[in-house]
Chains A and B, each alone.
Chain A
């Protein structure tokens, strides 16, 4: 086996191989670095590659293992993360020009947890400026490009996370999701992305887009990989008061329950903020059929009108972003991409009463969703992105204005943003390819803290299908 082929293994396979002495962390790191050499010029997924530091870490991990010490379930596994997770003493750009040379004063809780589990850090990844944008465009650091077709978008804002996992440059990556920013790049790049329940994963030490809606989570090649990574990063954190004290399940141990007898609601919305393209509908219907053949009882469900949830989320994001960005928007507005700055400006004009009401509505929205679309089902299945993946040029709002372009870009989040308002878990899983050869993703949505159910269904689906095994060339 060539060394580079090691990078084609998935996260759990390589982690177990390292643990059992069948390969080394150094070999896995060198394999990823070779993939980065091959793919970075094509997709621009990395903002910084820590070549020597990663190899040094890998050697240390191998030495620890040889001495009988295994830090945790990710010991020696190379990863990289969206450039919004602080590492004390190191630059953290948030995808921006404003923080181009800003040095983080603390380390993000999630990075600390990954360190403790033995992860090797290959560097930090491209992203939308300040996590604002669903496509993967970035005027400061260059657009991230989809490994399946470099003319097409990666989805955003965790663009580098989706692209690097898909191109097998890393075994897993952290993203963040305020309106779909984990699930959109996962869907667009053909990988798995989990937006867990709000409060399941600490946000401490991560650049905020909207404190009320931000979710930290993993992007990986398989559902099993994702389950392992979430188990490491989830849990209560005294530095993030919104985190839950509920115990973290052993997600990986609970994967193999199968779907026989489970009730899955299928939602294929034809109208609303994001009308569904027939190609996407057919792919998600085929996934539902596959789950049906595995024994799940699939029934159609109707989603509630998401307009109010979507608008409430916009109110929260705009008000919170305007508050945190105000000093830079006043002093150095020219350092933002126009579209990033202008999307926040409405936050200065929305009355505080409206913002507070948006927050107060959330509990009502959750109860309504659980008692309607989720009534009598274990999970809801729906598309992630409602249309075939557009090109970078078609969706470049910085150079191309106009209502049609803005509508298309807004349409990316039509089926994802409502679940940030609700705070309930949503998993994106690849379920096919469109007529252009670009990936299609489906979402599985569950009850609060029921990530176990979503992983169980996603894992059963991947056991019966091969979409996740295809690799871009």
Chain B
């Protein structure tokens, strides 16, 4: 079991109270890595301290055409 799969195993058993076999844990670790990397890179390039999840609604209202 590689380090990422071990981490997934720790989250499953230690934090979420769930059981998965080693093969599935490896698949989940790989899937999560892709998603996390994409969001982390996008966030690093764009987000600042003051970014608020709720700003989507205000941006939509400000940019509304009709």
A residues near B (Cβ < 8 Å) are: 197-199, 242, 244, 246, 249, 307-308, 311-312, 314-315, 318, 330, 345-346, 348-351, 354, 356-364, 366-367, 370, 423-424, 446-453
Q: Nearest B residue to A307 by beta-carbon distance?
A: B38
List 15 A-B pairs, Cβ < 8 Å: A198-B60, A199-B60, A311-B35, A311-B39, A348-B16, A349-B8, A349-B12, A359-B53, A360-B43, A361-B42, A366-B56, A366-B60, A370-B63, A423-B60, A446-B65
Q: Which residues of chain A come closer than 8 Å to B31, judged between CB atoms? A: 346
From the candidates B32, B43, B59, name the one contacting A357 in the complex (CB within 8 A). B43
B-side binding surface: helix, strand, loop or mixed? helix
Instruction: Find chain B residues with CB under 8 A from A307 CB.
Output: 38
In whole angstroms, how far apart are the Cα atoms of A357 and B40 in the complex? 8
Interface centre among B32, B35, B55, B65 (most CB of A within 10 A): B35
Contacts of B60 in A (CB 8 A): 197-199, 244, 366, 423-424, 448-449
CB nearest neighbor in A for B25: A349
A314 in contact with B35 (CB, 8 Å): yes
Kindly state the separation between the CA atoms of A354 and B11 in the bound complex, as whole angstroms: 15
B1: CB under 8 A from chain A?
no
> In the complex, how many angstroms separate the beta carbon of B4 from the nearest chain A beta carbon?
10
Residues of A within 8 A of B65 (CB): 446-450, 452-453
**Residues on the A chain within 8 Å of B55, using CB:** 360, 363
A249 to B57: give the CA distance in the assembly, Å. 19
- Given the interface contacts A315-B39, A360-B51, does A449 sit within 8 Å of B66 by beta carbon? yes
What B residues does A312 contact at CB under 8 A?
38-39, 42
Complex CA–CA separation, A367 to B11 (angstroms): 36
A451 to B, closest residue via Cβ: B66
How far, in Å, is A5 (CB) from chain B's closest CB?
38
Query: Which of A308, A349, A350, A449 touches B42 (beta carbons < 8 Å)?
Result: A308
When chains A and B are docked, how far (Å) is the Cα of A244 from the Cα of B16? 36
Decide: A361 near B57, CB < 8 A? Known: A307-B38, A349-B12, A448-B65. no
User: In whole angstroms, what is the CA distance A452 to B64 when docked?
Assistant: 11
Partner of A249, one of B24, B43, B63, B66: B66
Shortest beta-carbon distance from B49 to chain A in Å: 11
Q: Which of B20, B24, B61 has the most CB atoms of chain A within a 10 A radius of its CB?
A: B61
Given A361-B39, A366-B60, A453-B66; A346-B52 close (CB under 8 Å): no
Give 3 nearest A-B pairs by CB, closest first: A311-B38, A450-B65, A359-B53
CB distance from A265 to the nearest CB of B (A): 15
On whether A360 and B47 interact (CB within 8 A), knowing A345-B28, A348-B18, A349-B29, the answer reads yes
Q: Which residues of A contact B29 (CB under 8 A)?
A: 349
- Chain A residue with minimal CB distance to B63? A448
Complex partner residue of B28 from A246, A311, A349, CB under 8 angstroms: A349
Bound CA–CA A233/B43 (angstroms): 35
| A362 proximity list for chain B (CB < 8 A) | 53, 56
Contacts of A453 in B (CB 8 A): 65-66
**Candidates B34, B40, B42, B61; contact of A244 at CB < 8 Å:** B61
A446–B65 alpha-carbon span in the complex (Å): 9
Distance between Cα atoms of A315 and B41 in the complex (Å): 14
Contact with A363, one of B34, B42, B59 (Cβ below 8 angstroms): B59
Shortest distance from the beta carbon of B7 to any chain A beta carbon, whole Å: 9
Complex Cα distance, B15 from A398, in Å, reads: 29
Is there contact, CB below 8 Å, between B47 and A364?
yes
Q: In whole angstroms, what is the CA distance A249 to B66 when docked?
A: 8
Apart from A423-B60, A448-B61, what are 19 other A-B pairs with CB-CB below 8 Å? A197-B60, A242-B57, A244-B61, A246-B61, A311-B38, A315-B35, A330-B18, A346-B32, A349-B11, A349-B16, A356-B53, A359-B53, A362-B53, A363-B55, A363-B59, A366-B60, A447-B64, A450-B64, A452-B65
Nearest B residue to A241, CB-CB: B57
B35 lies within 8 A of A350 (CB)? yes
Using Cβ atoms and an 8 Å threshold, which residues of chain A touch B16? 348-349
A366 x B35 contact (CB < 8 A): no
Q: Shortest distance in angstroms between A226's beta carbon and chain B's nearest beta carbon?
A: 16
Is B46's beta carbon under 8 Å from chain A? yes
Closest to A308 in B: B42
Assuming A348-B11, A366-B59, is B39 touching A357 (CB within 8 A)? Answer: yes
Residues of B within 8 A of A423 (CB): 56, 60
Contacts of B59 in A (CB 8 A): 363, 366-367, 448
Task: Please state if B47 and A361 are interface contacts (CB–CB under 8 Å).
Answer: yes
Q: How far is the CB of B1 from chain A (nearest CB, A)?
A: 15
- Using Cβ atoms and an 8 Å threshold, which residues of chain B touch A366? 56, 59-60, 63
